[in-house]
């Protein structure tokens, strides 16, 4: 019932290198640095949260490679048993000593490896064969150097195994990694933007020709990610995901061995000068569990007079993969710390989740890939109980993104402020039940919920915009004005499409005490509601009876299209309605009185346009608006350019649109502004 993966592409094409030999170092001998580390030391205190996007890549510490006898570290490999990090430097005019140091910077050994030429990125440790693998570009061979139990290299040329790999036809190898489960070797070919997998034969044989003949070689194409200047390759030992650096944009690309994208994340801004190789190694935080693995990135620095020498940076990836790292979503949530991303792979999860005490992002892989298919493929089924409960203790940057949330009492029961984005919320009783808090509800699809799609009960301030709400059995959006006194709560309902509600598209329910709330309903299409497009009730009564309650809270009704509802708008004694279209109702406006004003609106095809309503009759338009089925204005519509850009009522500036807010000479009436070019292209 589970699976998992995620990503967001970067801009820019991938430069294709010409056919030719491998990129090689200019010197004849490459040297290797072996550094034995107890990874809890050599620490620059304090972590830096990555800027931009969501900050899921965080610098935990930096290791000054100069203190270890290194100037420009490039290639990295790691042996978990002896806790040893192997480093290959950038090419230079003279060989670099091979050095091993402890965490206390004690020098242990110097080693030189018999490799003629190599790009220093092409190094990896094979835990299955207990050997260090290096690519000798001069001979087109993988050189396997034995590693002792204590991590000591045994580089005697006579004992080093060599495996020809010319049959792989690599053009620009720029990174290697080994799967710790089966010893398969992965090689990044940067020229083709792909990764070659070479499964070993008997005894760890990596001879490419025999592997090709035996069908043990495969390739995956990474070019669809749109990244360039790829370098370095690492495999996470727990998830089995692969990582490479898009150094040109300083981004970290995570993908499956199948090539499917998992995540593209920015490196922390300003932290890296020349990021190169990467490898997973044990966390340097001694308070972490021993199995905690972080990413180590080699930064080669600047090889010029500026004197910015290289270093090795330990990076925390604040992402918990479900089910690879946590077997259930709730387990992933419970493991998460503030700022973490709990990333859920495709599958159906029958769980009832609770978010509390932390600020996290709970998301499907849509969050980083922007592959909308992953929303439907990642399902949380509540089995008639609340699917996700959000407690008051969560932080306001908490987010729920890109999930299908279904079959619950409530889809989401929120008692806090949070972001709810890009979800499918279907087949619940209430889709979202806001008990308090609020936040942003944007880009979601609600369908077939058995009561309301969105229910705002307690003291809630919410921005509800750009959602599609279909076929709610009761109301599309229900707002209860319970007693509240304090800072004004603003509820904005903007650019939503609300159709097929069994009762009201939007229902506002008043109680006896005045509440400090303001409601702004702007640029929505509300259609085919059985009872009212916007209905107002009082005394806590929720069953629509068209009473048109005199709700005293201020309600703004601006640039909406109400189409084929039983009634249009019923009630409101402090309502300002400007630039709306009301079409096809038995009664378009009822009991909009008191301090209300209805101006610059279009009526058509209603049984009665208005009754007991403060309509500025001279500004009203009665004409066919020429609407498409989706509520858009067709060419020649009398609603085009007939709205007002500014409107003042009793000294209050209600509307103040700038020319950038509309096309043409004036705003259009209704929710959807008609673009002149689209009008020209309109086809019946």
Could you give the domains of the chain?
32-317 (2.120.10)
> What pLDDT digit, counting tens, does each position of 147-201 carry?
999 888 887 777 789 999 999 999 999 999 999 999 999 999 999 999 999 999 9
Q: Would the CA dihedral through 296, 297, 303, 306 be positive or negative?
A: negative
Helical (H) or strand (E) element with 297: strand 293-299
> What pLDDT digit, counting tens, does each position of 252-307 carry?
999 999 999 999 999 988 888 889 999 999 888 888 888 889 999 999 876 554 55
Mean pLDDT computed over 52-56: 60
Q: Compute the CA torsion angle 402, 407, 409, 414 (nearest 10 deg).
A: 0
Mean pLDDT of the residues in the chain? 88
Query: In this predicted structure, what is the pLDDT of residue 99?
Result: 53
**What whole-number distance in Å separates Cα of residue 145 and Cα of residue 123?**
11
Contacts of 203 (CB under 8 A, 6+ apart): none
Among left, alpha and beta (phi > 0; psi -120 to 50; other), residue 407 is left
- Coil vs helix vs strand at 525: strand
Contact 675, 640 (CB under 8 A): no
Q: Which residues pair with 581 in a beta bridge?
A: 561, 602
Q: What are phi and psi of 313, to 5 degrees?
A: -115, 125
Model confidence at 372: pLDDT above 70: yes
Share of the chain above pLDDT 90, in %: 73
Q: Would the CA dihedral through 155, 156, 158, 159 be positive or negative?
A: negative
Contact 118, 24 (CB under 8 A): yes
**What whole-number distance in Å separates Cα of residue 206 and Cα of residue 211?**
7
Residue 2 corresponds to which tokens in the numbers above? 């589970």
Q: Which residues pair with 87 in a beta bridge?
A: 33, 76
Residues 294, 297, 298, CA angle at the centre, nearest 5°?
Answer: 150
**What whole-number distance in Å separates Cα of residue 674 and Cα of residue 672?**
6
**What whole-number distance in Å separates Cα of residue 662 and Cα of residue 582?**
20
> Peptide bond preceding 323: is omega within 30 degrees of 0, i.e. cis?
yes
Residue 499 corresponds to which tokens in the numbers above? 């159709």
Mean pLDDT computed over 372-395: 98
**What whole-number distance in Å separates Cα of residue 24 and Cα of residue 384?**
62
Least Cα distance to 317 among 281, 363, 365, 274 occurs for 281
- Coil vs helix vs strand at 325: coil
Q: What are phi and psi of 384, to 5 degrees?
A: 75, 0
Contact 593, 613 (CB under 8 A): yes
**What whole-number distance in Å separates Cα of residue 155 and Cα of residue 98?**
11
Highest mean pLDDT pick, 14-23, 272-281, 328-337: 328-337
Contact 438, 460 (CB under 8 A): yes
Q: 128: how many CB neighbours lie within 10 A of its CB?
A: 14
Cα Dmax for the chain = 100
Model confidence at 3: pLDDT above 80: no
> What pLDDT digit, counting tens, does each position of 334-360 carry?
999 999 999 999 999 999 999 999 999
Contacts of 46 (CB under 8 A, 6+ apart): none
Model confidence at 48: pLDDT above 70: no
Query: In this predicted structure, what is the pLDDT of residue 71?
Result: 79
> What pLDDT digit, counting tens, does each position of 502-552 carry?
999 999 999 988 889 999 999 999 999 999 999 999 999 999 999 999 999
Residue 200 corresponds to which tokens in the numbers above? 């070993």
Our measurement of the distance from residue 505's CA atom to the centroid of its chain's CA atoms, rounded to an integer in Å, reads: 30
Beta strands per DSSP E along 318-360 = 319-322, 341-344, 347-350, 353-355
**What whole-number distance in Å separates Cα of residue 625 and Cα of residue 277?**
62
Query: In this predicted structure, what is the pLDDT of residue 92?
Result: 53
> What pLDDT digit, counting tens, does each position of 301-328 carry?
765 545 567 888 999 999 999 999 999 9
Our measurement of the distance from residue 220's CA atom to the centroid of its chain's CA atoms, rounded to an integer in Å, reads: 24
Contacts of 312 (CB under 8 A, 6+ apart): 62, 63, 65, 73, 76, 85, 87, 296, 297, 298, 299
Q: How many CA atoms lie within 13 A of 45 on its CB side?
A: 0
Which ranges constitute the DSSP H helices of 370-428?
373-377
Q: 259: how many CB neighbours lie within 10 A of its CB?
A: 17
Model confidence at 95: pLDDT above 50: no
Q: 52: how many CB neighbours lie within 10 A of its CB?
A: 11
Query: In this predicted structure, what is the pLDDT of residue 248?
Result: 78
Contact 655, 556 (CB under 8 A): no
Q: What are phi and psi of 665, to 5 degrees?
A: -80, -25
Helical (H) or strand (E) element with 456: strand 454-456
Contact 107, 317 (CB under 8 A): no
Contacts of 351 (CB under 8 A, 6+ apart): 328, 329, 330, 380, 381, 382, 387
- Coil vs helix vs strand at 226: coil
Share of the chain above pLDDT 70, in %: 87
Query: In this predicted structure, what is the pLDDT of residue 39?
Result: 37
> What pLDDT digit, counting tens, does each position of 612-671 carry?
999 999 999 999 999 998 899 999 999 999 999 999 999 999 999 999 999 999 999 999
Helical (H) or strand (E) element with 264: strand 261-266
Least Cα distance to 572 among 615, 606, 602 occurs for 615
Model confidence at 408: pLDDT above 80: yes
């Amino acid at each position: 019932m589970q699976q998992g993966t995620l990503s967001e592409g970067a801009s820019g094409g991938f430069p294709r290198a010409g056919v030719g030999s491998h990129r090689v170092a200019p010197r004849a001998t490459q040297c290797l640095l072996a550094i034995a580390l107890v990874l809890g030391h050599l620490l620059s205190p304090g972590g830096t949260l990555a800027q931009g996007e969501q900050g899921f890549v965080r610098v935990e510490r930096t290791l000054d490679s100069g203190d270890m006898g290194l100037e420009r570290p490039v290639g990295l490999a790691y042996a978990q048993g002896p806790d040893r990090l192997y480093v290959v430097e950038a090419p230079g005019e003279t060989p670099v000593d091979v050095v091993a140091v402890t965490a206390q910077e004690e020098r242990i050994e110097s080693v030189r490896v018999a490799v003629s030429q190599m790009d220093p990125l092409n190094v990896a440790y094979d835990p299955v064969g207990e050997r260090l693998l290096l690519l000798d570009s001069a001979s087109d061979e993988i050189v396997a150097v034995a590693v002792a139990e204590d991590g000591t290299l045994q580089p005697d040329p006579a004992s080093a195994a060599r495996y020809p790999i010319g049959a792989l036809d690599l053009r620009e190898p720029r990174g290697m990694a080994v799967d710790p489960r089966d010893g398969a070797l992965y090689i990044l070919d940067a020229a083709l933007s792909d990764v070659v997998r070479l499964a070993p034969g008997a005894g760890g044989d990596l001879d490419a020709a025999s592997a090709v003949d035996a069908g043990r070689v495969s390739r995956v194409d990474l070019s669809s990610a749109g990244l360039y200047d790829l370098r370095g390759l690492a495999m996470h030992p727990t998830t089995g995901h692969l990582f490479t650096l898009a150094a040109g944009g300083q981004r970290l690309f995570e993908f499956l061995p199948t090539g499917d994208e998992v995540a593209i994340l920015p490196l922390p801004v300003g932290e890296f000068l020349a990021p190169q190789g990467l490898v997973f190694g044990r966390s340097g935080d001694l308070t972490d569990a021993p199995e905690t693995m972080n990413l180590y990135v080699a930064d080669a620095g600047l090889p010029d007079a500026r004197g910015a020498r290289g270093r090795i940076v330990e990076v925390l990836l604040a992402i918990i993969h479900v089910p690879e790292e946590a077997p259930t979503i709730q387990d992933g949530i419970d493991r998460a710390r503030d700022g973490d991303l709990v990333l859920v792979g495709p599958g159906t999860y029958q769980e009832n989740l609770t978010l509390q005490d932390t600020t996290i992002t709970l998301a499907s892989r849509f969050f980083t890939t922007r592959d909308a298919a992953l929303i439907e493929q990642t399902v949380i089924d509540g089995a008639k109980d609340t699917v996700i409960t959000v407690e008051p203790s969560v932080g306001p940057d908490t987010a729920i993104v890109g999930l299908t949330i279904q079959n619950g009492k409530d889809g989401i029961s929120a008692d806090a402020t949070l972001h709810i984005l890009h979800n499918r919320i279907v087949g619940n009783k209430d889709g979202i039940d806001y008990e308090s808090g609020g936040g942003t509800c944007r880009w979601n699809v609600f369908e077939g919920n058995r009561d309301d799609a969105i229910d705002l009960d307690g003291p809630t301030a919410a921005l509800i915009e750009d959602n599609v709400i279909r076929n709610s059995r009761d109301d599309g959006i229900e707002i209860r004005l319970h007693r509240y006194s304090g800072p004004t709560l603003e509820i904005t309902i903007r650019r939503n499409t609300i159709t097929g509600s069994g009762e009201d598209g939007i229902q506002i329910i008043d109680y006896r005490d005045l509440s400090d709330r303001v409601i702004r309903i702007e640029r929505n299409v509300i259609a085919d509601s059985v009872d009212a497009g916007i209905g107002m009730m009082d005394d806590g009564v929720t069953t629509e009876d068209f009473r048109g309650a005199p709700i005293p809270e201020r309600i703004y009704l601006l640039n909406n299209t109400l189409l084929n509802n039983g009634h249009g708008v019923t009630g409101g004694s402090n309502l300002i309605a400007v630039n709306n279209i009301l079409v096809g109702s038995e009664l378009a406006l009822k009991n909009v009185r008191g301090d209300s004003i209805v101006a610059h609106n279009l009526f058509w095809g209603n049984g009665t346009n208005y009754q007991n309503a403060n309509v500025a009759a001279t500004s009203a338009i009665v004409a066919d608006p020429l609407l498409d089925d989706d509520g858009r204005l067709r060419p020649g519509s009398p609603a085009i350019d007939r709205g007002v850009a500014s409107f003042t009522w009793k000294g209050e500036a209600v509307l103040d649109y700038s020319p950038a807010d509309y096309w043409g000479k004036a705003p259009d009436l209704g929710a959807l502004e008609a673009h002149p070019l689209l009008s020209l292209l309109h086809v019946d």
